[in-house]
Amino acid sequence: MSQVVTILILALTSVIPIYANVHGAGKICDELGRRSLSTRPHSVSITDFGAVGDGKTLNTLAFQNAVFYLMSFADKGGAQLYVPPGHWLTGSFSLTSHLTLFLENGAVIVASQDPSHWEVVDPLPSYGRGIDLPGKRYKSLINGNKLHDVVVTGDNGTIDGQGLVWWDRFTSHSLKYNRPHLIEFLSSENVIVSNLTFLNAPAYSIYSIYSSHVYIHKILAHSSPKSPYTIGIVPDSSDYVCIQNSTINVGYDAISLKSGWDEYGIAYSRPTENVHIRNVYLRGASGSSISFGSEMSGGISDVVVDNAHIHYSLTGIAFRTTKGRGGYIKEIDISNIDMLRIGTAIVANGSFGSHPDDKYDVNALPLVSHIRLSNISGENIGIAGKLFGIKESPFSSVTLSNVSLSMSSGSSVSWQCSYVYGSSESVIPEPCPELKRDADAYGRAAV
């Protein structure tokens, strides 16, 4: 654990801010960061409700009762639920509006490994079924549904999902329902998550779904590199999201932007847009440090990523989609990226991911357009890029500038491309011919 904390400190002190203001998304972190963590006029401790921090006593009822009590202060300036040092074992519980959940230094909220302590809920409408398997899902450990003005913060307190038992159930195909996440905000707005450590998430560490104005700042998310399909932060069909000054080391994707799955995401039609990611230190062991999709049927647009250190990941930056997804990934600006020991630096894959069922429309072709990557350096890179678009809907207006990647010894192929068009300037190693052409020259209208 001390090594993980050291990595976080180094990451947060070594990244120099350079702000990308190509479009409005580049200002979102500044705008959301100006919201102060105002002191709530009322505060109670979880111990006031009989909680015991011995790591053995189940405190689910204490958390539920505390939140229910604090609901009465919503129209009085809100309230704070204070969690003192100790190990506070609990099953899933929900928050309320105008609430601050504060974890003191040394406070650890520990997730129960007993599935009966996790509420079971319906799948999300933009997915139509679960990700792990069809059907219902376990509710996340800490939940916010249709909330306003919620803060989850602390003095580097910890939320530990004890995910090993869930990972074992996943790999052994013994899950009864889809895995839970550590913290989830659904259809909520004005949310802050800051100054916390998230460990061993069963699936996602922080999940924002159908939410707006979400500020994630100074967090550490860590799970074993071998943990299956664990993801750090997932903005899903959400807008005005800032993720900054954070370190994420997980088994699959560090940060993954999504917006629904096939016909369900198309019908729900809520995009992820206006997202700013900056000053982050990322590792996705068997996945990508930053990924877009592959579930992106509601659309992903207007995203700025700047100042990211990406290391020891299977892929660095990935754009994923497939026929039947519909939707779009467009107006993405990624700059000032430092990569180290990455299998493939840049991936754009038009044949990635499965379908929830056989009801999808194979003619729902996704659009990938206006992707700009600049000021990217890398050392010990296996392959510079694999960019494979869709014949019926080629990826267009992909622009590379000032990209310098030092290939690892034994690398024989630097770029692989098909059905992708764009332009490049000052790119080493020299990119494939498709990235030296303008998409409009091939009759692809800019969108």
- Is pLDDT at 397 greater than 70 in this prediction? yes
Using pLDDT thresholds of 50, 70 and 90, give the confidence band for residue 410. confident
> b or e along 9-22 (b: 16 or more beta carbons within 10 Å of the residue's beta carbon)?
eebbeebeeebbee
Give the span between the Cα atoms of 430 and 78, in whole angstroms. Answer: 57
Q: Residue 338 in 3-state DSSP?
A: strand
pLDDT on residue 336: 98
- Is pLDDT at 356 greater than 70 in this prediction? yes
Is-contact 88 46, C-beta < 8 A? Answer: yes
pLDDT on residue 23: 55
The rounded mean pLDDT for the chain is 92
Minimum mean pLDDT among 129-133, 226-230, 310-314: which range?
129-133
Using pLDDT thresholds of 50, 70 and 90, give the confidence band for residue 45. very high
pLDDT on residue 2: 40
**Mean predicted confidence (pLDDT) in 378-399:** 97
**Mean predicted confidence (pLDDT) in 40-65:** 98
pLDDT on residue 10: 37
Give the span between the Cα atoms of 132 and 116, in whole angstroms. Answer: 19
**Mean predicted confidence (pLDDT) in 192-213:** 98
Phi-psi region of 50 (alpha: psi -120 to 50; beta: other; left: phi over 0): left
pLDDT tens string 215-261: 999 999 999 999 999 999 999 999 999 999 999 999 999 999 999 99
Using pLDDT thresholds of 50, 70 and 90, give the confidence band for residue 437. low
pLDDT on residue 256: 98
Using pLDDT thresholds of 50, 70 and 90, give the confidence band for residue 79. very high
Candidates 32, 194, 184; CA nearest to 95 is 184
Structure tokens at 319: 């754009």
- Is pLDDT at 441 greater than 80 in this prediction? no
pLDDT on residue 221: 98
**Mean predicted confidence (pLDDT) in 66-85:** 96
- Is pLDDT at 15 greater than 50 in this prediction? no
Minimum mean pLDDT among 52-56, 317-321, 389-393, 435-439: which range?
435-439
Percent of the chain with pLDDT over 70: 92
